[in-house]
Amino acid sequence: MPKTLEGQITMEKTPSYFVTREAPARISAMSRDTKLIVVVRDPVTRAISDYTQTLSKKPDIPSFESLTFKNRTTGLIDTSWSAIQIGIYAKHLDNWLHYFPMEQILFVSGERLISDPAGELGRVQDFLGLKRIITDKHFYFNQTKGFPCLKKAEGSSKPHCLGKTKGRTHPNINPEVVQRLRDFYRPFNMKFYQMTGRFFGWED
Ligand SMILES: Nc1ncnc2c1ncn2[C@@H]1O[C@H](COP(=O)(O)OS(=O)(=O)O)[C@@H](OP(=O)(O)O)[C@H]1O
- pLDDT, one tens digit per residue, over 93-109 is 999 999 999 999 999 99
Sorted by sequence, the CB contacts under 8 Å of residue 92 that are 6+ apart come out as: 18, 19, 86
Sorted by sequence, the CB contacts under 8 Å of residue 193 that are 6+ apart come out as: 199, 200
CATH assignment of the domain containing 51: 3.40.50.300
Nearest-CA residue for ligand 1 atom 9 is: 114
Q: How far apart are CA 149 and CA 156, in angstroms?
A: 14
For residue 140, tell me if it sits in a domain. no
For residue 73, tell me if it sits in a domain. yes
Ranges of beta strands (E only) in the chain are: 36-40, 69-71, 76-77, 105-109, 139-142, 147-150
Q: How many A from CA of 163 to the centre of ligand 1?
A: 9
* pLDDT of res. 5: 93
* pLDDT of res. 153: 87
- Residue 195: CB atoms within 10 A of its CB come to 16
For residue 1, tell me if it sits in a domain. no
Q: How far apart are CA 92 and CA 40, in angstroms?
A: 12
* pLDDT of res. 154: 85
For residue 104, tell me if it sits in a domain. yes
pLDDT tens, residue by residue, 57-84: 999 999 999 999 999 899 999 999 999 9
Please give the C-alpha separations between residue 83 and each of 30, 122, 126, 181, in angstroms, as whole numbers: 29, 29, 31, 12
Probe ligand 1: pick from 17, 165, 166, max atoms within 8 Å of CB? 166
With 90 as the cut, is the pLDDT of residue 117 above it? yes
Parent domain of 27? 15-134+176-196
Q: How many A from CA of 178 to the centre of ligand 1?
A: 20
- Residue 53: CB atoms within 10 A of its CB come to 13
Q: How many A from CA of 185 to the centre of ligand 1?
A: 21
For residue 75, tell me if it sits in a domain. yes
For residue 80, tell me if it sits in a domain. yes
Nearest-CA residue for ligand 1 atom 25 is: 167
Q: How many domains does the chain have?
A: 1
For residue 55, tell me if it sits in a domain. yes
For residue 169, tell me if it sits in a domain. no
CA 13 to chain centre: 12
